[in-house]
Structure 1
Amino acid sequence: MKMHHLPKTLGRVAALLAPGLLVMASAAAPTDRATHGMVKRSELEIVDCLLPGQVRQLGNRSFLSQRRPIRTTASECSIRGGEYVAYDRADLQSALRIWLQAAESGDVEAQTNVGEIYERGMGVEPDYEAAAMWYQKAADKNYARALFNLGTMYEQGLGVPQDGLKALNLYRQAWGVPEDNIIYASAAQREQDELRKELEGAIAEKDGQLELLQRQLKELQAQLARQASADHAVEDSNKEIQALKKWIEQLQAERRKNTERLAGIPRTRTPRGTTELAQLPPTADERTLAGMNFGRYYAIVIGNQNYQSIESLATPKADAERAARILADRYGFTVSILEDANDITMLKAINDLNAVLKPDDNLLIYYAGHGARLQSGRSEAGYWLPVNAEAPPKDTFWVPNEQITGHLGRLPARRVLVVADSCYAGLLSTDPSYLFLNDKVSYSQEYIKFKLPKRARLLLSSGGDKPVLDEGSGGNSVFARAFLDELESNQGILSSPELFSRIRKRVEVAAQNNKFVQRPEFKSIKGAGHEVGDFFFVPRSRS
C-alpha cells in the first residue's frame, strides 16, 4: 500500500469522457507555457459575460436591444464584444451585476443563476435565504433546474425549514413525474411514514414532559398556598412557578407545531401501475432502445501520474488505460486519453468538446491524479492538479473545480458524469434518485423514460473531501478497481446511482483491508445545470 505523503490538502483524483474510437495522446507540459498551442490559460476560463445588445429593425426604425448575460470562455466573450471582470472573477457583486437585471425582468435561467451565486457565495459568505428566494421565483414558472435546486435547499434545511417531503415533491416536479406515478408514490409514502413516525414520537415525548412539569407545578402551587414563611421565600417560589409555566407554554407550542405538521402530511394518491415494471433488453448497438434515443457516448480519460514539482503517483496511467479500453470496447464510447496533462491541455480538451457534442449526447470525464482543497475563512475551494502544479499554497497552475463546473454547464451534452478518484469541492446535496427507488421498483423502462430527457451533471467520487488510496488493489487504485470491475462485468443497462450502490461497499471493505477509511460519494454537480437526469451505461450487443 502506498499513500501520498503530501500536505493534508492534497489527495488523489479521477475523471472520464465518451463514445466510439480510442485516441491516445501524450500531454506533458512544455517548458514555454505561454505559447502552448497558441492558447493562454486565461482564455479558457469561464466568465460571466455581458454581451452587447443586438441592433434590431422594426419597420423603418432601428433599435438596440438589452445586453444579454451568458457564461462562456473569456476568449469567446472578447471575440463577441462582451464585457467581463478580468480580475477578481470570484467576486459576488461582479457576477450578480451580470445576471441581476435579466433575473429581475423575469428570466428564469438568470433567476436560477442568481440563486446559485448566492448559494455558493463566490468569495463571500453564502446567503441561503436569498438563494431560496430566487430559486422560488423560477420554480413558480416550473423551471426544472430551479425546482431541483430548491429541493436540495429543503432537503438540507438551508435558507428554508428542513423538509424531506417538500424536497421530494420538488424533485418530482423537476423530474416531470405525476403524483400518482408508482415511482413517486412509493417514495412519498416512505417519506410520509418516516415523518409521521418521527412526529408521533416527538408528540409523545412532549406529552410525557408536560405531564411531569404540570405535576411539579401543582405541587409547587400547593406548597406555596400552605407556606407561612418569610416574604423572600414566597418570592422565590413565585419565580420558580413562573419559570415552570414558561417552560410548559414552550413545550405546548412545540407540541402544537408538531401536531399541525402531522395533520398536514398529505395522503399519497393510489399509484398507477404496479411494481412489476417492464424491463428493457440489456444491450443495443445503435443506442436507440424501445423507442428511446440514448445519444452518442464520448469520454475524456485523464491520467496524471508523473508530476514535475510534487510527489508522483503509481497507478493513474494504468487506471486510465484500463478505463479507456472498457469504455470503448464494452460500451462503444469514443475515448480520448490525456496522459500527464498540464492545466491548459486539461481545460482545452473539455472546452473543445463544445464543437463535437450534440444535445442528446453523453459525456464521461474520468480524472486520475492529485487533487487539493484550499480553505479561505469558512469557504473551501477544490482543485484538480495538472502535472505542472506546484506544491500548496502555490496554486497558479491548479485547475479550480469552479472552472470545471463552468465548462460542464455550457457543454451541449444532455448527460455528463464526472468520475473523480478523490474530492470534488463545492458540491451540495446527494442526488435524489435514491429517494425515488426502493427494493420493489427497479431501474426499468418507466424510470429511464422519465430520466432520459432531463439534463444530468453528476459526480461519482472516490472519497469525499479526504485523502484516498493510490495503490492497494493489484495495480489499480482501490476505487478504480471496484469501478472498472463493475463496468467490465455488467450485462445490462446500468444507471449511475445503481453503479454507485454496487461499488460503495467494495471500496469501503478494500480500504479497510488496507487499514484505511475511504467512503465513495455520489452527488449532483450544482451550478452546472443539473435537472434530475441520470447517466446510463448501455453495453454493446455481442452477436
Structure 2
Amino acid sequence: MPINKKLSVTAVVASITSAIFLSSCAHVDHTVAVPDDADKLLIVDCLLPPQVRKLGSSFAYAAARRPVKTSAVDCEIRGGEYVAYDRADYRTALKVWLPQAEAGDPEAQNYVGQIYEKGLGLKEDYKTAAYWYEKSAEQGFSEAQINLGYLYEKGLGVAQDSAKALNLYRNASGIENDNLEFASTIEVARVSQDQLAKLQRELEAEQQKNLRLQEEMASVRDQMNNLDQELALARAQKRSKELELRLAQSEQSDGVDPAMEQQLQAEITDYEQQLSAGEKALRDFQSKEKSLEKEIEDNTLQLASAELNQGRMSIQLIDPPMSITRGVRGAVVEESVKEKEIFGKINVPGGLEELLINNSLHELDEFSMFWANVPLQGSITPVDIVAIDKLGQKVDYSFTIFSDQTPNKEAALIQSTDLKVGRYRALIIGNNSYQGIPSLSTAVADAQATDRVLRERYGFQTTVLLNANRYEILSSLDEMRRTMTADDNLLIYYAGHGEIDRVNDRGYWLPVDADPERRTNWISNIAITDIINAIPARHIMVIADSCYSGTLGQTNLAAGGAEGQIQPSAEWVAAMSEVNARTVLTSGGVRPVLDIGGGEHSVFAKAFLSVLNENNTLLEGHSLYRQVMRQMRVSMARINQAQVPEYAPIKHAGHEGGEFFLKPVDSI
C-alpha cells in the first residue's frame, strides 16, 4: 500500500501525502534508547488479580477480579492478565468488561457499548450499543451520554433525534440551561426512510456479492496453485519413467523385456494424459480467473454507485454555533452587529445543483464550503439554507439570529479569575528525516515554532521530540499517562508523515523508523486514542495536520460564541473547565495536506502559529478552529490548493463535553 505523505517542496504534485501535528508540555529534547518491545507501552484490557479482603479478625476471602485499561507493562507489573496477540478482536475485550457491566458498573457498561459500536471482531450492532450506553447514561456517566448522543445525532441504532442528542451533550457538560451552545452538524436524508432502507438493502446485497466473488476468486487461485503442484509432480514422474525406459534400452544389448517396456510406456502415456487434462483444467481456471476479475471490477463500480446513492446530503453549520435559544434553534449576536457572516460545509454525494441562502443564490468554493453575509433585520433575523442536488432532491436548515440588547457583563473571558486550569503541558513531535520514506521540509521548524509560542506566550511546559522513532513517541505518551493529574491540560502536536487505511478507515502516524511496506512501526490512531483515554488530564487537545481527525469522531462540540457574537459567560467557561475534553484540530480531514505554503512552515502551521501569536485573551478550542479556518481560506486561495481544517471530539477517548482553553501568560 502506498504511503500517504505530506507534499514536499520538490514533489508537491508527485507525492500525495498526509502529515500529523501534536502539541504538549515542559521543554525537554529527548533522545531515548529503543527497548526490545515498544508494544508493551500500548493500552490493553487488563484483569487485575483479586483483592484479598478480611471480614472480622478470622475470615478472609478473595474479591472478584477488576478490569482496568492500562499499559501492557503496567498490567504485568500489577500481576494482571491481558490478551497479548489479539487486541484487534473486541470479543476478547467483551469477555473482560461484560461481567462488570452486567453487575451495573457504568464505566464497564460504556466500554461494552463501545465494543458493539466499533464492531471489530463482531458485527457492528448500534442497537445493542445504544442499550448499554443508555444504562450507563442513566447513572450519569458523562462519556456514555456523549456516545449515546452521537447515536441519536446520526440515527444509528435509534431514531434520529437531534434535540435529544443536544440535551445529552448538554447534560454531559453539566449545564442544564440554554447558555451552552453547540456547533452543529445537521444532516437530512435526501431520500425518504423507505427509499433509504431500500438503498441500504441494495448496498448490503452488493457488499455480499463482492464478498462472495472475492471468496470464489480465492478458491479458484487455491485450486490453480494445487493444480500447478500436481502438474509439476506429473511432469517429474513422466520424466523419471522416460529416463528409466532409456536406461533400460541402453543397458540391455539383447533388447528390453517387452512386458517391462509395455508397462513403462503405459505409465508414460498415463502421465501424458494427466498432463493434458491438467493443462486443460488450468486453462479453464485461468479463464475463470479472468472472468471473475472482470466481474469483481464491474461489481466494485456497482458497489461504489450503491454507496453514492445511499449517501446523505448534509449541511454543517460552523459559524454561528447553534443552541436551543428561546425555544427555537438560534444564535445570539450583539445589538450593534448589522451584518452576520455565516459559513459552513455542504456534503452532496450526487453533486450540487443549487444553493439558496434566504432565497439568494450562492456558490460553494472548491472545498465545498459556503460563506455568506446575512443583513440583520432588527431583533430577529430568520435564516434559511437550502441545497438541491442534481437529482432534484434537497436538504434545508432554518435557524434564527437574535440581536441581544442585554449588556454582556461577563464578556471578557480573561476576567474569569476563578478559572481552574491547572498545569499546561505539551508533547511536540516534528519528523523530517525518515529512513525509508521521502523526507519532509517543514515539520521540524513547525514543531520548534510551536514549542516557542507555547512556552513563551502561554506558559506551557514542553517536551520536544525531533525525528522520533516509534518507541520514543509511545514512551513519551506513556510518561504523560504516568505523570499527569486530573487537573492538568495536555496539548499534543505532531508534524510528520501519516497514512490512512481506506478499508477500515483507520489512520496512522508514521515515526521515522516506519517501513512503507510493513506496519510494524506504524502507530494507529486506535492506539493513540486508547492512550489518550488513559491519560488522567482534564483537557487534552491534539493538533493534527493530517488524516487523523477525519477518521475519528464528528460529535457536536460545545462552543462559547462566534466572532461578533456575545462572548461566552463566566458560567460557561467555568463549566467547561470542569468537564473532561478530548478534541482534535486537523488541517485537512482525511485528504493529503501540504508540507509547504507558509514560507518555512506548512500552510496550516502558519495559520495556527499566527492565531496563537496574535491572541490576547482566553481562547477556547472552537474559536481557535474558526480563526485558523479563516486564515487558511485566504492562504489556500492564494496558492490555489484545496485544504480545509476540521475540529471534533476524539471518539472513545474520554470526551465528556468540555473544551480546551489557551490562556496567554501576560493576561493572567
TM-score, L = length of structure 2: 0.63
Letter in 1 for 2:664: P
1:464–1:137 distance in 2 versus 1, CA, 3 Å: same
CA–CA distance in structure 2, aligned partners of residues 137 and 7 of structure 1? 48
Aligned length: 447
Q: Which residue of 2 aligns with 1:333?
A: 460
User: Is the 8 Å Cα contact of residues 156 and 429 (structure 1) preserved in structure 2?
Assistant: no
Identify which of 278, 282, 290 aligns with 2:414.
Answer: 282
CA–CA distance in structure 2, aligned partners of residues 47 and 123 of structure 1? 16
Q: Which residue of 1 aligns with 2:543?
A: 419
RMSD (Å) for aligned C-alpha atoms? 2.5
CA–CA distance in structure 2, aligned partners of residues 371 and 419 of structure 1? 13
The offset of 1:426, in angstroms, is: 3.8
Q: Which residue of 2 aligns with 1:187?
A: 323
User: Is the 8 Å Cα contact of residues 34 and 471 (structure 2) preserved in structure 1?
Assistant: no
CA–CA distance in structure 2, aligned partners of residues 396 and 86 of structure 1? 15
Q: Which residue of 2 aligns with 1:462?
A: 587
Aligned pairs (5 A) from 1:266-415:
276-280=408-412, 282=414, 290-376=417-503, 379-392=504-517, 394-415=518-539
The offset of 1:154, in angstroms, is: 1.2
Question: What secondary structure is seen at the aligned counterpart in 2 of 1:87?
Answer: coil
Q: Which residue of 1 aligns with 2:337?
A: none
User: Is the 8 Å Cα contact of residues 183 and 441 (structure 1) preserved in structure 2?
Assistant: no
Q: Tell which has more relative contact order, 1 or 2 (C-alpha 8 A, sep 6+).
A: 1
CA–CA distance in structure 2, aligned partners of residues 5 and 395 of structure 1? 25
Q: Which residue of 2 aligns with 1:136?
A: 134
CA–CA distance in structure 2, aligned partners of residues 176 and 363 of structure 1? 22
The offset of 1:74, in angstroms, is: 0.8
Matched, 1:486 2:484: no
| 1:451-506: CA deviation from partner (whole Å, max 9, x where unpaired) | 01100111001110010011011110010000010001100000000000111132
1:181–1:369 distance in 2 versus 1, CA, 3 Å: closer
1:182–1:310 distance in 2 versus 1, CA, 3 Å: closer
Greater shift, 54-63 or 490-499, is seen at 54-63
1:371–1:5 distance in 2 versus 1, CA, 3 Å: farther
The offset of 1:511, in angstroms, is: 2.3
- Name the % identity: 41
Identify which of 46, 50, 54 aligns with 1:49.
Answer: 46
Q: Which residue of 1 aligns with 2:29?
A: 24
CA–CA distance in structure 1, aligned partners of residues 562 and 144 of structure 2? 22
CA–CA distance in structure 2, aligned partners of residues 542 and 189 of structure 1? 32
Identify which of 623, 631, 634 aligns with 1:509.
Answer: 634
Letter in 1 for 2:660: F
Identify which of 445, 449, 455 aligns with 2:574.
Answer: 449
User: Is the 8 Å Cα contact of residues 413 and 570 (structure 2) preserved in structure 1?
Assistant: no
User: Is the 8 Å Cα contact of residues 19 and 495 (structure 2) preserved in structure 1?
Assistant: yes
Q: Which residue of 2 aligns with 1:15?
A: 22
Greater shift, 179-188 or 316-325, is seen at 179-188
| 1:258-295: CA deviation from partner (whole Å, max 9, x where unpaired) | xxxxxxxxxxxxxxx95725134638xxxxx5222210
| 1:356-406: CA deviation from partner (whole Å, max 9, x where unpaired) | 211110000000001101133xx22111000001114x1110011111111
Greater shift, 510-519 or 412-421, is seen at 510-519
User: Is the 8 Å Cα contact of residues 45 and 67 (structure 2) preserved in structure 1?
Assistant: yes
1:192–1:129 distance in 2 versus 1, CA, 3 Å: farther
Q: Which residue of 2 aligns with 1:168?
A: 166
| 1:309-361: CA deviation from partner (whole Å, max 9, x where unpaired) | 01111100010000000000000000111000000000000101133211110
The offset of 1:121, in angstroms, is: 2.0
CA–CA distance in structure 1, aligned partners of residues 411 and 524 of structure 2? 41
The offset of 1:512, in angstroms, is: 3.2
Letter in 2 for 1:12: A
1:515–1:123 distance in 2 versus 1, CA, 3 Å: farther
User: Is the 8 Å Cα contact of residues 111 and 135 (structure 1) preserved in structure 2?
Assistant: yes
CA–CA distance in structure 2, aligned partners of residues 134 and 7 of structure 1? 45
User: Is the 8 Å Cα contact of residues 48 and 95 (structure 1) preserved in structure 2?
Assistant: yes
User: Is the 8 Å Cα contact of residues 168 and 435 (structure 1) preserved in structure 2?
Assistant: no
Letter in 1 for 2:621: S
1:437–1:95 distance in 2 versus 1, CA, 3 Å: farther
Pair member with larger Rg? 2
1:533–1:519 distance in 2 versus 1, CA, 3 Å: same
User: Is the 8 Å Cα contact of residues 182 and 275 (structure 1) preserved in structure 2?
Assistant: no
Q: Which residue of 1 aligns with 2:112?
A: 114
CA–CA distance in structure 1, aligned partners of residues 643 and 86 of structure 2? 35
CA–CA distance in structure 2, aligned partners of residues 5 and 347 of structure 1? 32
1:438–1:396 distance in 2 versus 1, CA, 3 Å: same
Q: Which residue of 1 aligns with 2:365?
A: none
CA–CA distance in structure 1, aligned partners of residues 322 and 446 of structure 2? 39
Aligned pairs (5 A) from 1:95-244:
95-179=93-177, 181=179, 187-189=323-325, 192-193=328-329
Q: Which residue of 2 aligns with 1:74?
A: 72
Show structure 2 runs of 5+ residues with no match: 1-7, 183-320, 331-404
1:524–1:542 distance in 2 versus 1, CA, 3 Å: closer
Letter in 1 for 2:46: C
CA–CA distance in structure 2, aligned partners of residues 327 and 365 of structure 1? 11
The offset of 1:6, in angstroms, is: 7.3
Letter in 1 for 2:544: A
User: Is the 8 Å Cα contact of residues 187 and 438 (structure 1) preserved in structure 2?
Assistant: no
Letter in 1 for 2:592: P
The offset of 1:190, in angstroms, is: 7.8
CA–CA distance in structure 2, aligned partners of residues 354 and 322 of structure 1? 25
User: Is the 8 Å Cα contact of residues 432 and 467 (structure 2) preserved in structure 1?
Assistant: yes
Identify which of 621, 624, 637 aligns with 1:499.
Answer: 624
By percentage of residues, which structure has more strand? Answer: 2
Question: What secondary structure is seen at the aligned counterpart in 1 of 2:30?
Answer: strand
1:173–1:5 distance in 2 versus 1, CA, 3 Å: same
Question: What secondary structure is seen at the aligned counterpart in 2 of 1:522?
Answer: strand
Q: Which residue of 2 aligns with 1:245?
A: none
1:463–1:277 distance in 2 versus 1, CA, 3 Å: farther
1:165–1:281 distance in 2 versus 1, CA, 3 Å: closer
CA–CA distance in structure 2, aligned partners of residues 130 and 400 of structure 1? 26
1:182–1:404 distance in 2 versus 1, CA, 3 Å: closer
CA–CA distance in structure 2, aligned partners of residues 385 and 131 of structure 1? 32
The offset of 1:513, in angstroms, is: 2.5
User: Is the 8 Å Cα contact of residues 362 and 414 (structure 1) preserved in structure 2?
Assistant: yes
Question: What secondary structure is seen at the aligned counterpart in 2 of 1:62?
Answer: strand
1:6–1:74 distance in 2 versus 1, CA, 3 Å: farther
Show structure 1 runs of 5+ residues with no match: 28-35, 195-272, 284-288
CA–CA distance in structure 1, aligned partners of residues 631 and 563 of structure 2? 21
TM-score, L = length of structure 1: 0.77
The offset of 1:435, in angstroms, is: 9.1
Question: What secondary structure is seen at the aligned counterpart in 2 of 1:53?
Answer: coil
